[in-house]
Amino acid sequence: MNREAAVTFQNVTVNLGGVLILDSVSASAPRGGCAAIVGPNGAGKTTLLLALLGQVPFRGNIRIGDTPDGRRPRVGYVPQRLQFDRGLPMTVADFLVMGLQRLPMWLGVRRRNRDQARGLLAAVRAEPLERRILGALSGGELQRVLLALALQQEPDLLVLDEPAAGVDVQGGYLFCELLERLRRERKFTQLMVSHDLATVTHHASHVILLNRRMAAEGAPKEVLTPENLSAVFGLHMGLADTHAMPDKPSLSACTAPCCREDHHD
Amino acid sequence: MIDLSPLYDLISHVLPFDCLRARFMQQALFGLILIAPMAAAMGVQVVNFRMAFFADAISHSAFAGVALGLIFAVSPHWTMPAFGLLVGLSIMALQRRSALSSDTVIGVIFSAVMAFGLAIVSRDRTVARDLQRFLYGDILTITDAHIIGLVALFLAIMAFQAWGYNRLLYIGLNPVLAEAHRVRVAFYQYTFAGLLALVVILSVWAVGVLLVTALLIVPAATARNFARSAGSMFWWALVVGITSAVVGLVISAQNWARTATGATVVLCGFAWFLVSYAVTLVRRPALR
């Protein structure tokens, strides 16, 4: 088994109600990198994540590797479009304190925990949202708050389902840029599902191309070839040209692999 | 048996209403003061987990509980909570495992326990007549033994709420997210289902099968309208639950009213709800 891998999938097969959703998938996500699971609708991308989180029964083996210091790894999860009760009177601060403190919130919030929640919001650049009601947040705002909740776990592995979905292009771009910075600062491994090839080519260091079974795995340039893409997506899909993105000042400081100076395209 | 009369004397001292002079009224009030906050506190999560139908299924299992008592010649005071607990945990286990939607699972179990109870009870005419007591409840006939049982459950529920409130909120928001973030979802769900089953069954004696769910839902729904944070939701539910219970009992004992206590309590809760709804209408434009 690959010691450098943060996550290893070995012959993972998922069969739900007689429908084969994943067929003997073997792949891995390198430690400290950003791995993207890519594939068309119905390819089993989200199912693979749910199997990793223990939410779907599967055959095969999924191993989350121990941390370099031998500790059991912690997982942070950012779901796609969280399904929740928007009528719940819960502020963003409550939402973050909920996982921090055992003392029931009806007996108050400890100052230490409130400060910690503020720190998390600052880390995802969402300080102004602290007193807002959770159900009244926009898609992009909610995504940042969910990222803050996942960071609260001090994750070794951060799992994201479609981080760029439901957010406008610019918002998705900034979110991925934020993730990139956090990943470097906090040194977690990132594993995300994405159908957005522009996001993947821009941010991923490792791509797992999936269509119920493994199609290809490796560096984006090796995997996202026209041949592989047309085999998986069923029609010719050219790579999105990341340099054709709007030339905004905020993007010029991008630290993603394709924008770094050592990158030659 | 523990002597509860000093407690009753204290109640008549604190609330010097004419109608509360009789011992049975003091017992009823004390019973309601225990039941209302338990139901209101658990109701907060019943609303968050969308488990109103679950509570309905448990309350209707009361008939089957009585029937089992008849079959095994055991007091229904024991068979009702035991069977309610069994039904609650079974529904939770099926919900967690089955591919069927949760309301379908509950619907199936609900019909089965209801039919079983009615089939057995209908064989015995005297018991069939007694069933009305379970339909409408009768808090005025509550006994000291029943009250001691309620005190024990009250302590257990409040300890659970103090220990697990934040985690239950987490699970209510999204169980998959909670589990990924190391919350022991199964443990909390089963404990919650078991305690809720006991609260529901013990409340059936007070307000009857038909109105138990109201004791859970109405204070929690009202609390959602008033509250502006996750912590205050709990206190609002308690305030609404307890005031509705006390006012409902006092009104039902008045000569001009002479209504069923359980129904009057629920109507008081509904009045609270209307006020809270008006508050949201006033508040909403301010938020825009």
CA distance B31 to chain A (A): 24
Tokens for A78, please give them: 């950012």
Q: Kindly state the percentage of chain B with pLDDT values over 90.
A: 61
Range(s) for CATH 3.40.50.300 in chain A?
A: 1-74+154-265
Q: Kindly state the percentage of chain A with pLDDT values over 70.
A: 86
pLDDT band, very low/low/confident/very high, at B208 (cuts 50, 70, 90): confident
Helix segments in chain A, DSSP class H: 45-52, 92-97, 111-123, 139-151, 169-186, 197-203, 220-223, 226-233, 249-252
Is it the case that residue A196 has pLDDT exceeding 80?
no
- Per the domain annotation, does B25 fall within a domain? yes
- Per the domain annotation, does B19 fall within a domain? yes
Is it the case that residue B286 has pLDDT exceeding 80?
no
Is it the case that residue A265 has pLDDT exceeding 50?
no
Given an 8 Å threshold on Cβ–Cβ distance, is B231 in contact with A104?
A: yes
What digits encode the pLDDT tens for the residues B175-205?
999 999 999 999 999 999 999 999 999 998 7
Given an 8 Å threshold on Cβ–Cβ distance, is B169 in contact with A105?
A: yes
Which overall architecture, per CATH, does domain A1-74+154-265 show?
Answer: 3-Layer(aba) Sandwich (3.40)
Is it the case that residue A74 has pLDDT exceeding 60?
yes
Query: A216 by DSSP, 3-state: which?
Result: strand
Q: Which of B239, B48, B219 is nearest to A135 (CA)?
A: B48
Q: What is the pTM of this model?
A: 0.88
Closest by Cβ to A84, choosing from B174, B179, B183: B174
Q: How far apart are CA B283 and CA B288, in angstroms?
A: 9
**What is the domain range of residue B55?**
5-210
Q: Tell me the CATH number at B46.
A: 1.10.3470.10
- The pLDDT assigned to A233 comes to 83
Instruction: Check if the interface score ipTM surpasses 0.90.
Output: no
Are A159 and B180 in contact, with CB atoms under 8 Å apart? yes
- Per the domain annotation, does B203 fall within a domain? yes
- Per the domain annotation, does B36 fall within a domain? yes
What digits encode the pLDDT tens for the residues A156-189?
999 999 887 767 767 777 788 888 889 988 889 9
Site from A90, A131, A151 to mutate, B interface, most B CB atoms within 10 angstroms? A90
Tokens for A25, please give them: 């998938």
At position B112, the amino acid (one-letter code) is A
Q: Kindly state the percentage of chain A with pLDDT values over 90.
A: 48
Given an 8 Å threshold on Cβ–Cβ distance, is A53 in contact with B176?
A: yes
- The pLDDT assigned to A238 comes to 53
- The pLDDT assigned to A29 comes to 92
- What is the domain count for chain B? 1
Given an 8 Å threshold on Cβ–Cβ distance, is A98 in contact with B232?
A: no
- Per the domain annotation, does B43 fall within a domain? yes
- Per the domain annotation, does B273 fall within a domain? no
What digits encode the pLDDT tens for the residues B60-72?
998 888 888 888 8
